[in-house]
Amino acid sequence: MAQIQPRQSMTPLRVVACSLATLVLAATPAAAQNRSNPGDATWQWSGAVTATETFVVRAASGEVRVVAATGTQATVRGRKEPRPGSSRTDSRTIFEMRKEGDATLICAYDPERGDCEVDGLRQSNRNRSDRERNAKIFLDVSLPKGVRLVVATGNGAVMVTGTESDAKISSGNGRITIERVAGTIKASTGNGAVTVTDVRGAVTVHSGNGDVRVSTATGAVSAHTGNGSIDVTMRKVTGAEDMEFSSGNGRVTLHVPEGMNAEVDAHTGNGSFSSDFPLVVQGRMSKHRMRATLGSGGQRVKISTGNGSVSLRKAM
């Protein structure tokens, strides 16, 4: 009897252990559905996303396209395509989805070279090989309207269309295009043009090298480029915050609503000033600097270019 008793006490433990192992095995396939393998050329995820969340997309390299979804489900499709002159897509880049706090995180990165987190993508040059250049990476996102959006890619274009909330978009090297968005826009690229059209909200744009085009229904704008022209249309300006426009090399043209009131401070290293509006010049107008009052004055509008003209035009 003494030998039988230990066997009876061990039996339940074995059953529990087997049950736990079964649960772990059962959970594994579900978790794997949210992460691709390095050899996968395509990947897809879909799930519910609410307006209380922030949708974050981070790619070490790749083109990102975001459009508005018709319901509450977000859908992401990742794919790898051969670059010109190559038939291979053997990049180690994987696609991954994670929930972190109040954020849904989408990543396209090489896990052997670093981490992808909500607050940033950290990738080193270790383990990098020539085969990484074989594949072009694409992320296509369908996002419910009203969800805050953050997109960052190290090298590639970003396009956002039809979303209805705040958006923060950045590319290390690539063009940025944003259309029909309601909310505050912050867009920056190290090298590439930035085009923001038909938006309702304040806009801040930076480009290290590229033209900037902005068109807003309402909201203040600030735009900067190291090399390129700036063309901004504001059909209505709400609020009294200051605005600033600067180009290292390129003309700056502002289309503003009739009846706008502002203090204008304009500077050009080599160029001319022109205005569709009567301006009351403050002090003496020099060849390179003009300070003037538009309407009854108010918010400050600072404009500068190293080489190019400065123009104030009536928004049509």
Which two tokens mark 1?
Answer: 């009897």
* Confidence at residue 127, expressed as pLDDT on a 0 to 100 scale: 54
30 pLDDT more than 50? no
How far is it, in rounded angstroms, from Cα 51 to Cα 53? 5
108 pLDDT more than 60? yes
Q: If pLDDT is split at 50, 70 and 90, which confidence band does 199 have?
A: very high
Least confidently predicted of 34-38, 126-130, 196-200, 233-237 = 126-130
pTM: 0.85
Q: If pLDDT is split at 50, 70 and 90, which confidence band does 246 have?
A: very high
270 pLDDT more than 70? yes
Across 176-193, average pLDDT: 96
90 pLDDT more than 70? no
Across 66-74, average pLDDT: 95
247 pLDDT more than 90? yes
Across 128-157, average pLDDT: 85
Across 139-148, average pLDDT: 96
Burial (CB count <10 Å: 0-12, 13-18, 19+), residue 13: exposed
Which two tokens mark 75?
Answer: 């859908």
Across 115-144, average pLDDT: 79
The overall average pLDDT reported for the chain is 86
Across 238-257, average pLDDT: 94
* Confidence at residue 39, expressed as pLDDT on a 0 to 100 scale: 87
153 pLDDT more than 80? yes
* Confidence at residue 240, expressed as pLDDT on a 0 to 100 scale: 82
293 pLDDT more than 70? yes
12 pLDDT more than 90? no
Across 98-106, average pLDDT: 94
290, 296, 298, 302 alpha-carbon torsion, rounded to 10°: -20
